[in-house]
């Protein structure tokens, strides 16, 4: 009798705990849904990243399903475009995954300090993140379907592609949705571990992220690997080996840029901190040093676009060479079309990434901005410091990205094409357009800053 009573008590307690956890999930879901900034931006960012990624994958699928004399060249060029767009798309997807991570971690750390169990935190995290990732993935599928007719109008190989040739199929699309959800869940679990171990540190932000010098060492190793591949390219025994080595040569400099970026940004910020002459410069430098990785993520997409622009400028110069062979003429025309399409997708990705990251940065630092406003700092000065913390690293971003692209161009023997007027004009247009997008992102997020300051003042009153 006692055993059965004890068993019933345990089962009832377990049911009660589960019921209480789900009740907590529903309770926290209400303010989350009411605050659109906590879910609308992540869903939109994930949707854009998913739609563009599926569209690029559809293009690669099309070229790998074609046959003909130049099929191998088209497949190789599609892989190069995929590698060049991988970093901007991954940056946008990462921004979507981390968009509300800090606010979610703050909320979960508070629950942990109030006595919530690890199981409760996991359920809350997985439920919220899974729902956001699934909504973003489904929105991305709808965007992909909407883009199919548009991209199907493009001409490659002497004829129009057609929307049907860009369709990946039901199973690959469902697999992509599942992969997006799993990636979102995996990223949330990584942050959850920190909340479980040091909830007070997360709540008070005691441990500031540091850009390790090991990143620079890894970046140098990646550049060295690119040089080694360039020397081994001539001794490759098969076409497949050449394609793999070329794709790696295009990918390694991008990896090097993203590894070295946060460390270089932190070095620049330390110099600015020592030379700061007014509160704006001081606050901007402190903002960068608070989290160099986050600052890099705000402008890293511009670095990837700069890299793509330099290389695409060389490709445009090479495609502008006159030829009497009709097959070569079609190929050159297709290369120009591919260059413009790659740059367009890269610019769209940068625009979305900059706008989303800037808005997220304002929302993540709302307590700091409201506190400075209450201390008497003018809103114009707060905005100036915010703009400087973004625009100051842009110089470093553009410089190291251009150098990485040049490190790729030199081993390929394309120095003359790099110095041509067509290449120079393409690079200049890319740089001007990229900087304009960053400034537009800052202007667009200025309204969010004003709303944050007004809301903070209202709560204080």
Cα 320 off chain centre by? 32
Average pLDDT over residues 108-119: 66
- pLDDT tens digit sequence for 371-401: 888 888 888 888 888 888 888 888 777 877 7
Q: Which pLDDT does position 199 carry in this prediction? A: 46
Domain that holds residue 155: 36-205
3-state helix, strand, coil in the chain (%, to 5): 85, 0, 15
Do 106 and 154 have their domain in common? yes
Residue 30 inside a domain? The answer is: no
71-80 own/partner pairs: CB under 8 Å, 24+ apart: 72/239, 73/331, 74/156, 74/157, 74/334, 75/243, 76/243, 76/246, 77/335, 77/338, 79/243, 79/247, 80/246, 80/247, 80/250
Question: How many structural domains is the chain composed of?
Answer: 2
Average pLDDT over residues 295-324: 72
- pLDDT tens digit sequence for 331-345: 778 887 887 888 788
Highest mean pLDDT among 239-243, 380-384, 406-410, 437-441: 380-384
Residue 55 inside a domain? The answer is: yes
- pLDDT tens digit sequence for 33-86: 656 656 777 788 888 888 988 999 998 888 888 877 777 788 888 887 887 787
Model confidence at 231: pLDDT above 90 = no
Exposed/middle/buried for residue 150 (C-beta within 10 Å: 0-12, 13-18, 19+): exposed
Q: Which pLDDT does position 140 carry in this prediction? A: 92
Burial annotation 189-223 (CB, 10 A radius, 16+ → b, else e): eebbeebbeebeebbeeeeeeebeeebbeebeebb
Residue 4 inside a domain? The answer is: no
| 453 or 414, greater pLDDT | 453
pTM of the model: 0.74
Q: What is the mean pLDDT of the chain?
A: 75
Model confidence at 135: pLDDT above 80 = yes
Q: Which pLDDT does position 101 carry in this prediction? A: 60
Q: How many CB atoms lie within 10 A of CB 274?
A: 8
Do 280 and 389 have their domain in common? yes
Residue 262 inside a domain? The answer is: yes
Rounded Cα gap, residues 261 and 271, in angstroms: 16
Among 205, 222, 241, residue at a domain's last position: 205
Alpha-carbon distance values, 252 to 41, 91, 321, 423 (Å): 31, 16, 28, 22
């Amino acid at each position: 009798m006692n055993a059965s009573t004890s068993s019933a008590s345990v089962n009832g307690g377990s049911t009660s705990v589960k019921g209480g956890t789900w009740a907590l999930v529903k309770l926290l879901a209400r303010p989350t849904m009411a605050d659109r900034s906590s879910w609308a931006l992540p869903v939109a960012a994930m949707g854009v990243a998913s739609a563009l990624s599926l569209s690029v994958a559809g293009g690669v699928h099309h070229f790998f399903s074609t046959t003909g004399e130049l099929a191998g060249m088209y497949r190789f060029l599609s892989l190069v475009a995929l590698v060049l767009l991988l970093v901007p798309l991954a940056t946008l997807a990462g921004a979507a995954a981390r968009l509300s991570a800090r606010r979610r971690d703050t909320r979960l750390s508070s629950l942990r300090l109030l006595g919530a169990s690890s199981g409760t935190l996991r359920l809350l995290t997985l439920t919220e993140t899974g729902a956001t990732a699934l909504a973003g993935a489904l929105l991305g599928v709808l965007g992909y379907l909407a883009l199919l007719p548009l991209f199907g109008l493009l001409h490659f190989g002497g004829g129009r592609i057609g929307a049907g040739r860009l369709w990946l199929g039901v199973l690959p699309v469902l697999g992509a949705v599942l992969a997006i959800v799993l990636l979102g869940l995996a990223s949330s679990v990584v942050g959850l571990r920190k909340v479980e171990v040091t909830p007070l540190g997360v709540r008070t932000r005691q441990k500031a992220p540091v850009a390790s010098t090991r990143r620079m060492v890894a970046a140098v190793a990646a550049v060295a690997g690119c040089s080694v591949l360039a020397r081994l390219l001539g001794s490759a025994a098969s076409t497949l080996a050449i394609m793999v080595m070329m794709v790696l040569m295009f990918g390694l400099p991008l990896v090097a840029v993203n590894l070295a970026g946060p460390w270089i940004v932190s070095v620049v910020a330390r110099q600015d901190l020592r030379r700061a002459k007014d509160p704006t410069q001081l606050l901007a430098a402190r903002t960068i040093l608070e989290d160099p990785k986050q600052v890099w993520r705000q402008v890293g997409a511009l670095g990837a676009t700069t890299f793509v622009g330099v290389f695409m400028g060389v490709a445009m110069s090479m495609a502008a060479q006159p030829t009497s062979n009709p097959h070569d003429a079609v190929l050159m025309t297709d290369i120009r079309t591919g260059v413009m399409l790659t740059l367009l997708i890269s610019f769209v990705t940068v625009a979305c990434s900059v706008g989303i990251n800037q808005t997220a940065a304002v929302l993540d630092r709302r307590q700091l901005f409201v506190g400075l406003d209450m201390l008497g700092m003018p809103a114009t000065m707060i905005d100036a410091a915010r703009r400087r913390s973004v625009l100051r690293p842009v110089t470093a971003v553009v410089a190291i990205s251009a150098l990485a692209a040049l490190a790729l161009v030199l081993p390929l023997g394309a120095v003359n094409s790099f110095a041509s007027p067509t290449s120079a004009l393409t690079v200049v247009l890319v740089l001007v357009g990229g900087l304009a997008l960053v400034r537009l992102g800052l202007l667009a997020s200025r309204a969010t800053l004003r709303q944050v300051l007004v809301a903070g003042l209202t709560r204080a009153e």
